[in-house]
Amino acid sequence: MLLQSQRFLNNTDGPMLPLKRVFLRRSTAVLAAILMAGGTAVQASTQNLTFKIPPVKIPLNIKDQHVVILASAVITVIPEARGQNTLKLELAADLSELQQNLTDLLSGELDKNDACGDRITIQRATLAPVEPASLAVVQLHYERWACAKVFGKKQSQKLIGGNAVMKLKLNPAVENNGTQLRLVPEVGPIEADGSLGELLRSGTLGEMLRDKIRTSILSAMQKGSDLGATLPPAIQGYAKIQNVRFKDAGSERLVVILNGEFQVTNEQIQALLKQVKERMASR
């Protein structure tokens, strides 16, 4: 279809000239609509249009700290026959503030101080890109205490304790619904004092810690890549994600990139342009 359209456009004589004029008028009208929508057009031609969705600040609360994930999108519209269009989406969520506050995020989820049980303190946590995945490195202190009554008095005893460093590679993936993300973990090397290492490698403690690290990071990442928070309403119900990856945006600044492709009508495109214009005007 695209090759046929190009031949029609290149034919400057004969009966195809009226078709060429109609094609150009329609393309010019769509381009004009985008230019009126706040100058968001990046590239335009008679075959496709590319424009930007303005950045959205998505707030996160981490230990009473105000953390922001900045999400933006680039949309390319490829016109097709009978009022249908292919829309290609690339959404980028900047996770750098999450990286800076990861220690607080994980300590809020994992720190524990049971007098007769587990005592966990997250000392430091980092998250860095290892494209297309990311690597979480968590330093922690762990103790396990037991309590018993001796001559009527409660006494506590430390059974095990020490420091550990856990590494967890997180591979991003897309859920079957095409709108949510998940993280597939790969267990990395564990450095630990004494018998704590074996407990972390093969016991339920290590499994629990890895799962909480993964779910805490995933929860924050899902908020930052929420399609409903970034995309205009005109395409929210239709947007689907096919693949996702982590990217190093420089100096180990972590960005998650989502790519998708789906079909929209001319009417949905017009509604999209109107909503982008309104968003630009409110900035």
Give residue-wise pLDDT tens across range 50-85. 878 888 999 988 877 889 999 999 999 998 877 788
Residue 140 · residue 166 · CB < 8 Å: yes
Of the chain, the percentage scoring pLDDT greater than 90 comes to 53
Q: What is the 3-state secondary structure (H, E, C) of 246-268?
A: EEECCCCCEEEEEEEEEEEEHHH
Residue type, 31: L
- Beta strands (DSSP E) in 63-180 are 65-79, 84-94, 112-113, 118-130, 133-150, 153-174
Instruction: Decide if pLDDT at 15 tops 70.
Output: no
The domain ranges of the chain are: 55-75+94-261
- Residue 52 is inside which H or E element, if any? strand 49-62
Instruction: Decide if pLDDT at 206 tops 70.
Output: yes
Provide the edge-to-edge strand list for the sheet that holds 84-94: 41-44, 49-62, 65-79, 84-94, 254-265, 243-248
Q: What are phi and psi of 198, to 5 degrees?
A: -65, -35
Q: How confident is the model at residue 281 (pLDDT cuts 50, 70, 90)?
A: confident
- Closest among 257, 223, 265, 254 to 241, alpha carbons compared: 257
Residue type, 49: L
- Closest among 144, 146, 138 to 110, alpha carbons compared: 138
Q: How confident is the model at residue 6 (pLDDT cuts 50, 70, 90)?
A: very low
Which tens digit of pLDDT belongs to each residue from 86-134? 999 999 999 999 999 999 999 999 999 999 999 999 999 999 999 999 9
Residue 121 · residue 141 · CB < 8 Å: yes
Q: Quote the pTM value.
A: 0.79
The whole-number pLDDT of residue 145 equals 96
Residues in the chain: 283
Q: Quote the tokens at residue 62.
A: 């981490």
Q: How far apart are CA 178 and CA 241, in angstroms?
A: 5
Q: Quote the tokens at residue 185.
A: 């973990």
Which tens digit of pLDDT belongs to each residue from 121-171? 999 999 999 999 999 999 999 999 999 988 878 888 999 999 999 999 999
